[in-house]
Amino acid sequence: MPQVVEIRGLSKTDADQRAADFSIDATQVDTVQEADGTFTVRATLPDGMEVPGAVPVDDGAQPSPDNGTPAGQTVPGSGSASAPQWYSLANGEIGKAEIGNTNDGPVIAKYRQLAQCGAPGDPWCAIFANAMFASCSPPIPGTRSALAQSSGSNGNFVKLSGPALGAVVIFWRESPTSGKGHVGFYQGESAQSIFVLGGNEDNMVQIEPMSKSQLIGYWWPKSQSMPTIAPIAAAAGTAHQTQVT
């Protein structure tokens, strides 16, 4: 019978390496960022296999086939909410970056290929979001557009009345009518900011606070079950905000 084990307290680099090591023998590997900024790698391994530093998961929970997050696992700042699969995949990309300030590089090229949109040099926040939907199993239809606001007018997405973990969240840039903006996945919020897990945030994938004053709204993949609408309180010490310029 397969066993579920995990290693906690890892840096992003160490977590990536451990996940790669696990993938040789594991049938399922998940990486989750904890509230303190460290990472946990959880893997389903053959029974009896021992891995230095790994401890068994006492509840015997198996990774969820629905959203890619181990059953019972929560996302930082999310209370009891379960992360949708695309959010868990995006979380595993944290730290991936473009080359210099080019909106390009091997990682970004991979996202463009997955997303089936964009060209070298294009701003890649929407490309990244589409790539995460395309990486789901089975793939979730995206917008196939590099435009940040494309989810807001695409038939594959429905508008939500409020926030939910992993919801597509869109902001305007320059002016509310410019058509320009930023898009990512909702992680939480403070009084002034919405924390967004996304690409092209300071040239990389990370969780960044965005000003609520530039919020357009929240959207959800039409093909997926609708989420529970509820704000998620951001962890203490993350109250600063970023204007989308």
Domain boundaries, the chain: 3-56, 85-221
More confident of the two residues 238 and 128? 128
Asked whether the bond before 138 is cis by omega within 30 degrees of 0, the reply is yes
What is the structure's pLDDT at 239? 40
188-235: pLDDT as tens digits:
999 899 999 999 999 999 999 999 999 999 999 999 999 999 999 876
Distance of CA 45 to the CA centre of its chain: 25
- The CA distance from 218 to 183, in Å, is 10
| pLDDT grade for 96, boundaries at 50, 70 and 90 | very high
| pLDDT grade for 39, boundaries at 50, 70 and 90 | confident
What is the structure's pLDDT at 244? 55
- For the segment 173-178, the average pLDDT, to the nearest whole number, is 92
More confident of the two residues 47 and 202? 202
Fold adopted by 85-221: endopeptidase fold (from Nostoc punctiforme) (3.90.1720)
Contact 69, 80 (CB under 8 A): no
Comparing CA positions, the residue from 165, 166, 173 lying closest to residue 147 is 173
Report yes or no on whether pTM surpasses 0.85: no
